[in-house]
Every structure is written in structure tokens, then in C-alpha cells.
Amino acid sequence: MEQHFLIQIDDIGREYIIGTEKIHALKSVSLNIKKGEFVALMGPSGSGKSTLMNILGCLDTPSKGQYILNGINVSDMSENELAEVRNKEIGFVFQTFNLLPKSTALENVALPLIYAGYSKKKRDEQALKALEDVGLGNRVDHKPNELSGGQRQRVAVARALINAPSIILADEPTGNLDTKTSIEIMGLMENIHAKGNTIILVTHEEDIAQHAHRIVRMRDGLIEDDYQNPQIKSVIPRLDALKEKGSDFEKI
């Protein structure tokens, strides 16, 4: 296989047995994604996009087919092997933030580095830098319930970036946010992509998908459409306009 693809999926299928019924969540999916792409994965409920996201994120393994991630065949790895790949190669951003409620922003961001075996001093240094990079350098000691929704999502983004992963996998990252905060988070995603990161954005919102450079649409366990976005939508001009009006993004 050609090594310039970061993700190579060939004839992936996923079946589930529910009672006496066999559910084909994914029938046959083949997909290649290059390093540095910004891809939106879309589809209605039951299309298979969540199953594909779980396989891309090494949270599940396929029933058939092959998945090569950054040159590593992860198709039939054990749970422990998949956990190691997840920690090293994938940064997750979830709709519900998935932050530890009793831990500070700094502790939440540093968490992946514990599993990677870093010293506490090194963990804290890198977590502080990651929080500063997302504009939260003055919120390091705050716990999630002391932060706004937008701030919690920025903590989640900082945590996703902490290990310099191959992929940022964002699952409905603006789903729980208001319009203004969604603009700010998508601006952050655009900046992350501009620095060379590969982003796979799972969304059901058309306007959010339009920020991606490539859109993959799924239906009935298959890829229905896969195309380069001809009119990429950027929130950066809107962010600049809001800042000029004096919007306080520390409260977002």
C-alpha cells in the first residue's frame, strides 16, 4: 500500500448480532485520507457514520477488511494494543467534553501523558502550554463546573492535542454549544488544521461540515458521496469582526 496516506481503509465491514438478528452497520467501506486533510464525515442516523468513527478512532475493530493507520495495521489488534494506538495516534474531541469533573483543567489536559509515562513536571509543562495555545492559560486551576461550555470544549481540544497525535477526531464538537461559541470552536479547529493537523469532523450539521475541505457522506453502511468541498466556509473573518466589537472570548 502507498505510505503517503495517513488512513487507509479497504473493504471494511462491521456486523452486530442483536438477539437472532444480524445488523450490518457497515457493509463495505473503502477510504483513504492524506496527512493534513480536513474531512467532514456526515450521514443520517443509522448510516454507519458512528460505527466508522469508532473504527477510525480504534474504539472498535471491523468484522472484515483492513485498516492501516499511519503505517500500522490496526484491524485485528487486541484491546490493550488498540488503547496504546489511541493514546499515541488519536486526539478525541467529544460533544459532551468528557472531562473529569473533580480534576482541574490542567489535570484533565495532562491525563493522556500519564498513560504515556511522562513525569509530573513534564506533564504540567506541556499541559500548561496546550491550555495557553487554546487561550485558557488563566484557567488552569478551574474545574469543569467553573468553566463555560466553550471553555470546557477548549480544554477538551487542548487534551486532544497534548500528545501531538496523527489525527484529531472530533465527534459533533459544537453539538452542545450556542451559535457564537460554535463559531469560536470552529475557528480553533481551522487554526489547528492550518498548523498541519489532520482533522476528521463527525457532524450532522451542514453548516459545520462546510468548514471541511472534503466531505464524505454515508448512507446504509456505505459511502454515498466523497468530494472536495468547492466553497470552504471560514469563521475567521467572523471571529475577527466579533473581536473588533469587543466580544470577550474568555467568557465563551
* pLDDT at residue 124 in the model: 94
Share of the chain above pLDDT 70, in %: 92
* pLDDT at residue 246 in the model: 52
* CB-CB contact of 186 with 12 (8 Å): no
Mean pLDDT of the 69-94 span? 91
* pLDDT at residue 238 in the model: 56
Mean pLDDT of the 194-201 span? 93
- Please give the domain boundaries of the chain with CATH numbers for all domains: 35-62+77-251 (3.40.50.300)
Read off the pLDDT of residues 212-248 as tens digits, 9 standing for 90 and up: 999 999 999 999 999 999 988 887 655 555 555 555 4
Is it the case that residue 49 has pLDDT exceeding 70? yes
Read off the pLDDT of residues 28-37 as tens digits, 9 standing for 90 and up: 999 999 999 9
Q: How confident is the model at residue 2 (pLDDT cuts 50, 70, 90)?
A: very low
* pLDDT at residue 240 in the model: 59
Q: How confident is the model at residue 117 (pLDDT cuts 50, 70, 90)?
A: confident
Read off the pLDDT of residues 5-17 as tens digits, 9 standing for 90 and up: 999 999 999 999 9
∠ CA 179-183-189, rounded to 5°: 140
